[in-house]
């Protein structure tokens, strides 16, 4: 396969200010590949005509679709209209414009919540569309499934070289630490840090603490995206995870230890648990020659250091 990612390739990273997009830009820079980027003010990806004009002008060879409306369980559960609207618009505009302007490769990122709520664990790629979704994030998951189907359909009908990767729960530098809209890992870093500063006796964990999740550092995801862009060109989706999970209670204990907080953990069971378990089967990913490298403790410690460096 000819390498589509070289310093002379025109690579567009949609969503370069987000957690995933910024990690992909950093990863590309290590190989002297300077991504084409646009801020939201410069290019509103929900506007079809603006997206078409941008692609007609820049004609990227490779497109990473990392722009998305994302959030944790509470944001998904309370603002489903935003999640379905923005994601459908952004991905539809970008995928179609990439095809029309002659892109040689497109990488679409889904999410592990595309799989049924009660899918057998670890979740294999062929579990997609075999059962009912987790209701708290159904709107987001349906949008992502539509994106996967669009990429697959463009390949089948137009011979378009789009691939869809399904990352597990992500974290790392550049994450959202807002307690109402964030995912669990950044929320816990912030909660334990602030409780330590204030000498508060307890930190509150949402739900029962029993759900299990898998956490992948975003720099590992970016490395996997670059690797798979080069070696993979098939219609089937590919899971991107570490292959190990941990309960939310255990995660909280680990973050407490890394931050150095000595108080107690209490539960707020009025908040939802979501899917009981989300562990990806990574057999296919390993077969394609990629393994995660950043351990969870090490990744939490470096993310906490990044959080502190922001002046928090
Ligand atoms: O990370 P999180 O919001 O997303 O929550 P999901 C994971 C688990 O951590 C849930 C619990 O069981 C939460 O109840 N949790 C405990 C907390 N304390 C907290 C807290 O302070 N903040 C948060 N946010 N959670 C999202 C989906 O699901 O994950 C999206 O809604 C997407 O669609 C994303 O797939 C990756 O893993 O439950």
DSSP for 26-90, written as a single string = HHHHTTT---B---TTT--TT-HHHHHHHHHHH--SEEEE-------HHHHHH-HHHHHHHHHHH
Q: How many angstroms does the Cα of residue 184 sit away from the middle of ligand 1?
A: 5
Residue 42, Cα to own-chain centre: how many angstroms? Answer: 23
Q: Which of 69, 138, 192, 206 to mutate to test the pocket of ligand 1 (most atoms within 8 A of CB)?
A: 206
**Per-residue pLDDT tens digits for 45-98:** 999 999 999 999 999 999 999 999 999 999 999 999 999 999 999 999 999 999
113 lines ligand 1 (CB under 6 A): yes
Please provide the size of the chain in residues. Answer: 312
303 lines ligand 1 (CB under 6 A): no
**Per-residue pLDDT tens digits for 5-50:** 999 999 999 999 999 999 999 999 999 999 999 999 999 999 999 9
**Per-residue pLDDT tens digits for 120-176:** 999 999 999 999 999 999 999 999 999 999 999 999 999 999 999 999 999 999 999
Q: Quick check: pTM over 0.85?
A: yes
Q: How many angstroms does the Cα of residue 273 sit away from the middle of ligand 1?
A: 8
According to DSSP, residue 59 is labeled -
81: left (phi over 0), alpha (psi -120 to 50) or beta: alpha
Burial label, 285 (beta-carbon count in 10 A; 0-12, 13-18, 19+): buried
Residue 288, Cα to own-chain centre: how many angstroms? Answer: 20
- Beta pairing partners, 264: 202
Tell me the average pLDDT across 302-309: 98
Nearest atom in ligand 1 to 183's CA: 1
């Amino acid at each position: 396969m000819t390498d589509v990612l070289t310093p002379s390739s025109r690579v567009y990273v949609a969503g370069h200010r987000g957690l995933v997009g910024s990690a992909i830009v950093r990863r590309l820079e290590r190989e002297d590949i300077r991504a084409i980027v646009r801020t939201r003010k410069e290019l509103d990806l929900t506007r079809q005509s603006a997206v078409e004009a941008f692609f007609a002008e820049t004609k990227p060879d490779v497109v990473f679709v990392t722009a998305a409306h994302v959030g944790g369980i509470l944001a998904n559960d309370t603002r489903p209209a935003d999640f379905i609207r923005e994601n459908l618009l952004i991905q539809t505009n970008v995928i179609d414009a990439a095809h029309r302007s002659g892109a040689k490769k497109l990488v679409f990122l889904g999410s592990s919540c595309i799989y049924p709520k009660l899918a057998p664990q670890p979740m294999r790629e062929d579990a997609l569309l075999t059962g009912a979704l987790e209701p708290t994030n159904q709107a987001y998951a349906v949008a992502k499934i539509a994106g996967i189907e669009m990429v697959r359909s463009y390949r089948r009908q137009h011979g378009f070289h789009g691939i869809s990767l399904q990352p597990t729960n992500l974290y790392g530098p550049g994450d959202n630490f807002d307690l109402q809209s964030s995912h669990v890992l950044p929320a816990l870093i912030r909660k334990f840090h602030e409780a330590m500063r204030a000498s508060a006796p307890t930190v509150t964990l949402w739900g029962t603490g029993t759900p299990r999740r898998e956490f992948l550092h975003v720099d590992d995801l970016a490395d996997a995206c670059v690797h798979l862009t080069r070696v993979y060109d098939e219609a089937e989706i590919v899971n991107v995870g570490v292959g190990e999970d941990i309960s939310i209670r255990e995660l909280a204990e680990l973050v407490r230890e890394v931050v150095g907080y000595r108080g107690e953990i209490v539960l707020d069971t009025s908040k939802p648990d979501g899917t009981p378990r989300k562990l990806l089967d990574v057999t296919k990913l390993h077969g394609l020659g990629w393994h995660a490298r950043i351990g969870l403790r090490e990744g939490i410690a470096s993310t906490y250091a990044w959080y502190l460096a922001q002046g928090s």
